[in-house]
């Protein structure tokens, strides 16, 4: 809960976004998939609606050259919409940049349409201006600062075209009303977007906290067995696709029952917590430690072949043997080490690790047994 409160304090009171760049990047990547799955169809709808305004243009504009120009502009924007829509799944890392470019292109098209119309219907363009402001804030994903900048630019330049270039000075009252109404809409959208940003990020933090609780062992803070099953499936799929090796280490504490009997279960719990703390400091950031059950643990080592995994297991064994677990004098562990083989399933890989750990126990405990010679291939029926 304290971690959650600290994370919420990283939300900016002005923009509603994370001030921590790492957290903001994680949120953007998380929300990208939802936008890609459910919201990008609205972009296509907006592009079609913008194009369909050619219908009233056809009846209102008598100059065929002017009508053709406007038609080409609307076609151009529709093509840009298709381009943005089709490339959106590949823009994960540059979504805000391309959203800004797309929105600015739409704004420029709006200005060109207004400028080309020799006898513009001001009420018609007022509606277009409001729709664009709403689209900037509500439809496309973008940084809050970008939304504010684009909406302000859109409003000010549009008013400049109305009053200065088009010289519609005969409607001063309307021009003032347009300015006031556009600013009001923009401010309402800005406040709503800031509030929505904050709520979305709080929900993101809550989901992260719930996920941590469901995937983490309460005592040791190692990942739990459920998370191991999920991660192992993903790791096998990744290894099959990219032909990268990965290895696993299963180990447990030798004679752990005697520690509980002699020093009590609370001391045994402290030993488990301290052991996990030591091991987390010895593995890489992308290596994961799981509590398999009781005093048994598994380490998954992505991108690691058998020999480096054996070396790591020996380093951990020697380090733990020399470490301080007061009041327990010495903590010894037995290790089973294997690397994943192309035909293996999640069950057979875990069974192999379990069998190798059993062999380590049989060999006198406090040792490392690996599958370096591949002697156990016929142990599991599904591998034959």
Catalytic residues: 295
- Across-strand partners of 298? 250, 290
Strand order in the sheet with 333-339: 288-293, 296-302, 246-253, 333-339, 368-370
Q: How many helices (H) and strands (E) does the chain have?
A: 14, 5
Give just the sign of the alpha carbon dihedral 100, 101, 105, 106. Answer: negative
Task: Return the bridge partners of 251, or none.
Answer: 297, 335
Q: How far is the C-alpha of 115 from the C-alpha of 29, rounded, in Å?
A: 39
H-run or E-run covering 290? strand 288-293
Q: How many CB atoms lie within 10 A of CB 366?
A: 18
On whether the CB atoms of residues 279 and 289 are closer than 8 A, the answer is: yes
Separation CA 112–CA 136 (nearest Å) = 18
Helix 265-280 × helix 306-322 angle, to 10°: 130
| 3-class state of residue 328 by DSSP | strand
> Residue written as tokens 């909406």?
151
Q: Where are the alpha helices (DSSP H) in 281-369?
A: 306-322, 346-362
């Amino acid at each position: 809960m304290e971690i959650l409160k600290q994370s919420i304090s990283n939300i900016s009171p002005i923009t509603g976004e994370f001030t921590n760049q790492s957290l903001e990047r994680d949120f953007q990547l998380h929300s990208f998939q939802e936008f890609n799955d459910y919201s990008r169809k609205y972009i296509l709808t907006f592009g079609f609606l913008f194009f369909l305004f050619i219908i009233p243009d056809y009846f209102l504009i008598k100059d065929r050259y002017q009508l053709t120009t406007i038609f080409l502009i609307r076609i151009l924007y529709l093509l840009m919409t298709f381009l943005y829509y089709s490339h959106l799944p590949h823009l994960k890392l540059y979504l805000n940049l391309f959203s800004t470019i797309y929105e600015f292109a739409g704004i420029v098209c709006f200005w060109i349409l207004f400028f080309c119309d020799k006898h513009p219907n001001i009420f018609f363009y007022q509606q277009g201006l409001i729709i664009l402001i709403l689209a900037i804030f509500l439809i496309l994903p973008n940084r809050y600062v970008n939304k504010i900048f684009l909406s302000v630019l859109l409003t000010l330049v549009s008013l400049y075209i109305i009053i200065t270039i088009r010289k519609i000075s005969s409607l001063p009252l309307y021009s003032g009303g347009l300015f006031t109404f556009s600013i009001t809409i923009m401010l309402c959208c800005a406040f709503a977007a800031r509030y929505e940003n904050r709520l979305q990020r709080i929900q993101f933090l809550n989901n992260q906290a719930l996920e941590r609780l469901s995937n983490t062992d309460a005592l040791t803070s190692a990942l739990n067995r459920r998370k191991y099953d999920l991660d192992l499936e993903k790791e096998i799929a990744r290894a099959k696709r990219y032909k990268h090796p990965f290895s696993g280490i299963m180990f447990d504490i030798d004679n752990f029952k005697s520690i509980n009997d002699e020093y009590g279960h609370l001391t045994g719990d402290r030993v488990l917590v301290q052991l996990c703390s030591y091991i987390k400091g010895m593995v890489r950031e992308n290596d994961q430690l799981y509590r398999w059950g009781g005093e048994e643990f598994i380490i998954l080592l992505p991108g690691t072949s058998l020999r480096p995994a054996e070396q790591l297991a020996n380093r951990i064994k020697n380090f733990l043997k020399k470490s301080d677990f007061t009041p327990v004098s010495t903590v010894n562990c037995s290790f089973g080490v294997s690397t994943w083989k192309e035909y293996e399933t999640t069950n057979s890989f875990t069974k192999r690790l379990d069998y190798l750990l059993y062999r380590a126990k049989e060999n006198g405990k406090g040792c490392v047994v690996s599958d370096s010679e591949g002697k156990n291939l016929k142990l599991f029926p599904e591998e034959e």
